[in-house]
Structure 1
């Protein structure tokens, strides 16, 4: 088996991760539910790729994510850094006292569990005493979903997953408010790998060493602020210790307007942060996927997103990451392809080679999503599968065409018709092939992975679905209404499609970072030169970053533009 170890660094990365693991937990629950749709029981996905088995000191069997989460102290809300399942006693305090001066103690009140977490606690207590047939819970599902819509403060507020004690790491001494931890330099000043890196490495080593054969690291980082620096130091260590293990890096950031009017100096700081962050992070991974639109609310007419709510936007990004990850854990295709429920399995190495080694070497990929995906037949032509994709990568060219593009497409749970019948794997393959045949331009190379299992919608999922979306994600009407959006009580699952593509349409993002690094950090009298020196960067290192970005741009630059520049 080829396992994946997931790493989440930073506040928003953990918001995304919380939804991602809720999807996995929901799949596990439905697989064991006798009342659930059979497609969830026979999904042909090897969940051991993401999960590990173990047991507590009390002998209780556990099944927890193979995850290392890093965030600042105080970011776990009401959850303990030891997780919720393992109840080992706290280490005994020493009786040796060497300090004779005064001692002051500062303590904060523990965060109270919200309605959702209280309901989970009650349900687990009932199960432990075998009272499954007892009185119904005092918590109503609609009250729970409404309380989450208005009250999420931490990523743990809507997490339904048990974590291993080695999974949740809080950075010592980093008590800064997330809003103030907003640039690469602050991250460097607040975090020293020499003092905390060994403990972080030990935690990662714990998960890696118990694997049979690690296929790669799924690394998700909030790159909007100081966690970029933390992640780059961690990635550098991973590259040194796990030389032949590929890293697939998602850089994520939340949507919404800027909190304040920006001065020119602050704008320069942000531009330099983005350039430095992208340059440093991309140098330590095999594939980098920038994710995070300034406004996600405009990305789909089927979803009602409130940009200022991380709880909302992170759910969409997590759904896309779930879809992209399906081929990494698909069961091998059997001899009866028509009857199989999955097709197109590929591992980390295969996907990275596909996107960065076919014809044109590049390591930056664009992420697109169709959420939900329209039925194969019965809908309008403008809702064709390939035309329904919305990019989740910022600053890409909307009109660009790239005949050298490479694509990996994952489609799962798609309906054959608006009546709700689920399409077979072969039907999806034929429909996608026909869509490519009709398209004006085709990628140089494309790979398709298909699964019949849709995206399950767990209870704590936000109410972001439009009213034209049915119980199983079918599009019932083109007309929007003024009624409230739907959530998990009305939509139980949805068909999904996600696409990774290596394309020259990402050039605006690369050129923007290259231009800002040169203008504000390298040219004579650059406005940000002193700032970068304060962040610990010498000019030679900045020039190396500029050369790396220039190489990325040149690799994707259309041939006619390259010949003109000569």
Structure 2
């Protein structure tokens, strides 16, 4: 057994993670549903890679994500920090009295569950009640009359917290709130604020204890899947966490996704704020990349206007929307980690191309270069394997979800790990593993510019679309993700009530196409923080970085650039 422990740090990271775990939950439910498509029952996947067995104090078996989520106090909405399976309680005994004066209690009303969470609660309540206990009270009984369409409509208009659309049950050790940080989430927006808030407290020790809980019960951990919202104050928290991971789990690889919502990259009118944002981006990336085996920047300035969403109807202002596409792609590239290795001399009928986290790291960073940054590409939905020039169409549908990437770069040393899920073939039927492999091979045979090496993982199981998934599909997307020649009349956007599953293609790519991203961060660090009389030098000092530390961060970025393109030399005194 080769387990993965997932960490989600920060607001947008948890929005992405909530969708990610909804996909896993949907796969588990479909595998047990006798009426579901057989493709979901023969997945050749080992879900224990991401999940753990346990039981409640009452002896009820549980199956929960091997997850540690970190966010600000109050970010869980209507969900308790102890989750939903275990009975939480006060950690302070009621008999302890330290004050004999008058006491005034101020209590706020708990946040009400939305229609989706009410329906989950009602369903679980009915499953747990015996026939003798009868039906619950009238309020709960009325919840069953709420239609799925009402639930979807409310989610589209009223999601505020990542827990508002979460189907998953969480272990009490999974949900950690950073208490004692009396700061508005919108102002928790730069490296210095996060570093000041986190220093001197017990948060680091408490988080490490919770992580240790999940790691110590693993038989043979294959790696950490780390998702961090690096757009603000959570970045230094993640850095401190990564430093403790490096000390305690020396040989365990870390695959880190640095995610950002579109709202985090909007330029401010204030010059001071623009300098702060650019320095934060440079410092955050430099520090995070130095503490993981592979870092993948994720988050376009405008997802709705990108080629990646040409078949989708995404609203940039909604984290609920944007995080859904990023989570679908992370789900896809993580599929090889839980694929069952094929038996000797056995045909791979349902899945092929299993990998471990360490093998992906070696593929992308262990070839001719030692770079540690990868590009994330997606085709959502992936095109079917029919029609003229399907090979070129298939490759042409890949679009980067990593920002500031060059589109037209000839990199003869590029390497990649590609995953294709639930591809459709002739007549809308699931394509076989053999057909997908043949098509991808033919695509690269005809491609003008192909990678030096490409690893392919294929699964017949498509991406399932759970009920709380947002209505982001365009009217050219059919029920099973097939691309329609004529649009469906009616609403321009379609959701889980109309689209039940989709084929996905995603890849992690090591290429010099990421050079603009790296060069922009190095240039900003030098121009605004290191150069003589730079406007942000004092700001870096206020964040706790001496001049030599700032120069070391610049050197880290310079080495990454040199590994990707030795001819690219940025002068150390550039301004």
Q: TM-score range by the shorter chain?
A: over 0.9
158, 177, 181: which one pairs with 1:174? 181
Q: 1:384: how far off? A: 1.8
Helix, strand or coil: the match of 2:256? strand
Is the CA contact 1:504–1:558 (under 8 Å) kept in the aligned structure 2?
A: no
Structure 1 residues 402 and 345: alpha-carbon distance in aligned structure 2, compared to 1, 3 A threshold:
same
How large is the RMSD of aligned CA atoms in angstroms? 2.2
Aligned position for 1:216: 223
Structure 1 residues 340 and 382: alpha-carbon distance in aligned structure 2, compared to 1, 3 A threshold:
closer
Structural mapping, 1:475-490, within 5 Å = 475-477=483-485, 479=487, 483-490=491-498
Structural mapping, 1:206-245, within 5 Å = 206-245=213-252
The separation in 2 between residues aligned to 1:563 and 1:462, in whole angstroms, is: 43
Is the CA contact 1:374–1:415 (under 8 Å) kept in the aligned structure 2?
A: yes
The separation in 2 between residues aligned to 1:434 and 1:290, in whole angstroms, is: 30
Structure 1 residues 437 and 133: alpha-carbon distance in aligned structure 2, compared to 1, 3 A threshold:
farther
Deviations 1:300-343 (A, max 9, x none): 21111000000000000000000011000101113565552111
Aligned position for 2:286: 279
Is the CA contact 1:416–1:423 (under 8 Å) kept in the aligned structure 2?
A: yes
Deviations 1:345-383 (A, max 9, x none): 110111101100111111000000000001111367587
Q: 1:520: how far off? A: 1.1
Q: Report the number of matched residues.
A: 563
The separation in 1 between residues aligned to 2:86 and 2:47, in whole angstroms, is: 21
Aligned position for 2:378: 369
417, 426, 444: which one pairs with 2:452? 444
Aligned position for 1:354: 363
Is the CA contact 1:257–1:308 (under 8 Å) kept in the aligned structure 2?
A: no
Helix, strand or coil: the match of 1:169? strand
Structural mapping, 1:186-265, within 5 Å = 186-192=193-199, 194-256=201-263, 261-265=268-272
The separation in 2 between residues aligned to 1:117 and 1:343, in whole angstroms, is: 36
Q: 1:441: how far off? A: 1.0
Aligned position for 2:12: 12
Aligned position for 2:302: 295
Matched, 1:322 2:353: no
Aligned position for 1:532: 540
148, 154, 159: which one pairs with 2:161? 154
Aligned position for 1:22: 22
Give the structure-1-normalised TM-score.
0.95
Q: 1:137: how far off? A: 2.2
Structure 1: state its 5+ residue gaps: none
The separation in 2 between residues aligned to 1:434 and 1:130, in whole angstroms, is: 58
Give the structure-2-normalised TM-score.
0.94
Q: 1:96: how far off? A: 3.9
The separation in 2 between residues aligned to 1:180 and 1:253, in whole angstroms, is: 16
The separation in 2 between residues aligned to 1:47 and 1:246, in whole angstroms, is: 20
401, 404, 412: which one pairs with 1:403? 412
The separation in 2 between residues aligned to 1:54 and 1:526, in whole angstroms, is: 55
User: For structure 1, which segment, 216-225 or 190-199, has the greater mean C-alpha deviation from structure 2 after superposition?
Assistant: 190-199
Helix, strand or coil: the match of 2:8? strand
The separation in 1 between residues aligned to 2:105 and 2:527, in whole angstroms, is: 49
Is the CA contact 2:268–2:274 (under 8 Å) kept in the aligned structure 1?
A: no
The separation in 2 between residues aligned to 1:479 and 1:256, in whole angstroms, is: 30
